[in-house]
Amino acid sequence: MGSEESSRVVVPRNFRLLEELERGEKGIGDGTVSYGMDDADDLYMQSWTGTIIGPPNTVHEGRIYQLKLFCGKDYPDNPPSVMFQTRINMSCVNHETGVVEPRLFPMLSDWQREYTMEDILMQLKKDMMSPQNRKLTQPPEGNEDARVDQKGIVLRCCIL
């Protein structure tokens, strides 16, 4: 009668984002990745902040990386835009802007609706451990330059 595709329930965008927010607030796995809303008053739940603690036995070890994720009105059907606020040298990140380039990051280029912001952060952390990224020379810590987000606001991140 009905195919498996027709019986699949599509969770509305805001319910999906509320689920992600709840999961992010509870903490994820071993605590080396976290995320949450940037602005509690953002009714559209578009602007998010993520954190990745650099994995051990890599040049990223002991570093804390801040990211911005922007979920447009078509999320989760389309991926969020992802930008490192903290300067980082990775093969999928634009060195000037900090933007994670979808064409260089398969999770974004081959986006599936089931993927989450947690999945993106975990994959970025995994990519930090990959042979092409684990030994790349990194910008000095504490020398964070301002980056401009999509709204044109200058953002600074300092690690104390």
Residues 6+ apart with CB under 8 A from 160: none
What is the domain extent for residue 116?
Answer: 13-129
| Total number of domains constituting the chain | 1
Report if residue 57 sits inside a domain.
yes
Closest CA to 64 of 51, 82, 46: 51
Report if residue 104 sits inside a domain.
yes
Report if residue 140 sits inside a domain.
no
Q: What is the pLDDT of residues 33-77, one digit of tens each?
A: 999 999 989 999 999 999 999 999 999 999 999 999 999 999 999
Report if residue 8 sits inside a domain.
no
Report if residue 154 sits inside a domain.
no
Report if residue 149 sits inside a domain.
no
Low-confidence ranges of the chain (pLDDT < 50): 1-3, 150, 152, 154, 157-158, 160
Q: Are strands 64-70 and 47-53 parallel, antiparallel or unpaired?
A: antiparallel
User: Which 3 state secondary structure label does DSSP give 120?
Assistant: helix
Report if residue 77 sits inside a domain.
yes
- Domain of 42: which CATH number? 3.10.110.10
